[in-house]
Structure formats: structure tokens, C-alpha cells
Copies of this chain bind each other. A is one copy, B any other.
Amino acid sequence: MSEQKTKFAALHREPAYLKVYRAIEENIIGGGLSDGEALPIEADLCEQFQVTRSTVREGLRLLEQSGLIARGSHKKFIVRRPNASDVAVAASRSLALGGVTFNEVWETLAIYYPQAARLAAKRLDEDSLSALNVVWRSLQDVADDDHDRTVECAVEFFQSLAKGLNNRVMLAMLQSLNLMIGESLRQVIGKAPNARTRILNAQKNILDAFSARDEDLAEEWMAKHIADLKRGYVVANVEMDKPIL
């Protein structure tokens, strides 16, 4: 049987636990199970799918990891459509794990954030602006040598900005970048002199530009802020081609 005329479809014999996963996934996507609703108990799922609990449970683990279900009260699972933050966390984790370098992260910041700042100047509403202000002021109160807190606040500034853009796609991407900013910043902040003051200054100018609705200025200062970030790496003597983790 070397030559075969009719080719049959590669009949993918999936394990049953995958079918369980897909079935439930589809149900969630299709809206059969809406957000927040509790999943049927394992026994019922066994009944419905006609498989044993072990199999159902393996399917549940897939759903769990994919973020479509989460633990509600006690042990019950509730349906949960993944949101931008989940996406961001998973993405940045995988990227960091994949060994992306300081340079790759920085380059992306450099071409993305200044434009985001333009949009922010145009779009941020009063609430977002005041939220940013609060974050900025909290950075003001941080001690110069409290590196952890400095990083935290600096990143929080970017987070607030991202949220204020009111766009979930951007939010996911920017948040993902923010997590990586935090990761990389944490590793150099101790070695970069005046880090807090410089960040504080840059963010102040950005904030003012936002308030004034001056897109050009916002872009300009954001670009400077990002550039300064790189300067920090250089000063701290970080090899830009090294992985951030």
C-alpha cells in the first residue's frame, strides 16, 4: 500500500479531556455560561460528557490554566472571561521567560509610549488625570533609597495612564510592557543615582502636558522619559542585550 488514491482526513483522535475542555470552552464563548456563573459540579459534568471524574478534572485543569474559570467561593469554579490584565500578565510572563532583552523592551517602549502619550493628552478624562496625580504625589513621598516603592510607583504611573486610554487592546499591550518595565527597572534602580528624582520630574512634565491637553508636549516629554530610562540602564552598566530575567 505504498501509493494511496484517496487520502483520508488525518482523523485527529483527541483525548477525551481535550474534548471536555473544548466543549466547555465553546459553551462559555457561545454564552451558554455567562461571566460569574458557577460551573456545574464535577459529578454532573461526568454525567453529561459520559466520562469519569479523572477525565473531567483534567479538562478543568486546562480551563483553569487558560483563565476561563477561576475559583469562586469555597471550591466551586466560576466562569470568567479573561480580561486585559490577564492577557498582559500571561504575555509578559511568557515573553520574559522567553528571554527578551532590555533592548527589546526598551525599543518597544520607545516607539509605543510617546504615541500613547499623545492619545492620553487628547483623551484622558478628569478622573484619570487626578488618578495620575495621586500616583505622582505618592512617588513624591517615597524615600530616595526605597527602591522597591519607587519602582512600584513609577510603574503605577504607567498603569494609570494605560487604563485611562479606555482601550482594552492598548491596555493589554501597555500593561504587558509595564510589567516588563517594572522587572527591568527593579534590577537597575539601585545603581542609578537620582533615579527617583528624575522619574518624578519627567512624570511631572508629562502630567502637566496631559492637563494642558498639549499632545506635542506630552509626546516630547514621554520620549524624554523613555530615553532617560535607557540612560539609567547605561549608567547602571547594564548590558542591553541581556535578558531582563
Q: From B82, B107, B118, give the contact of A167 (CB < 8 A).
A: B107
Q: Please, how many angstroms separate the alpha-carbon atoms of A180 and B213 in the complex?
A: 31
A65 interfacial contact with B, CB 8 Å: yes
Interface, chain A (partner B; CB < 8 A): 17, 29, 54, 57-59, 61-62, 64-67, 81-84, 86-87, 90-91, 94-95, 97-100, 104-105, 107-108, 111-112, 115-116, 118-119, 167-170, 172-173, 176-177, 180
A94 near B104 with CB under 8 A, answer: no
Q: How many copies, total?
A: 2
Q: Shortest distance in angstroms between A103's beta carbon and chain B's nearest beta carbon?
A: 8
B66 touches A100 (CB 8 A): no
Known: A86-B94, A95-B168. A111 touches B105 (CB 8 A): no
Q: Output the nearest chain B residue to A109 by Cβ-Cβ distance.
A: B169
Contact of A87 among B29, B65, B91, B180 (CB under 8 A): B91
CA distance A82 to B92 in the complex (A): 11
Q: Is the interface of A mostly helix, strand, loop or mixed?
A: helix
Among A82, A86, A87, A118: residue with most chain B CB under 10 A: A87
Question: A66 to chain B: which residues have CB within 8 Å?
Answer: 65
Minimal beta-carbon separation of A76 from chain B (angstroms): 14
Indicate if the CB atoms of A98 and B62 lie closer than 8 Å.
no
For A105, give the chain B residue with the smallest CB separation.
Answer: B169
The reply to whether A94 and B87 contact each other, CB–CB distance below 8 Å, is yes
A212 CA to B170 CA, complexed, in Å: 31
In the bound assembly, the distance between CA atoms of A81 and B93 in angstroms comes to 11
Contacts of A57 in B (CB 8 A): 54, 58
Max chain B Cβ within 10 angstroms of own Cβ: one of A90, A169, A180: A169
CB-contact partner of A100 in B86, B104, B108, B168, under 8 A: B168
Q: A111 and B107: CB pair below 8 A?
A: no
- A64-B62, A65-B61 are known contacts. Are A83 and B108 too (CB-CB below 8 A)? no
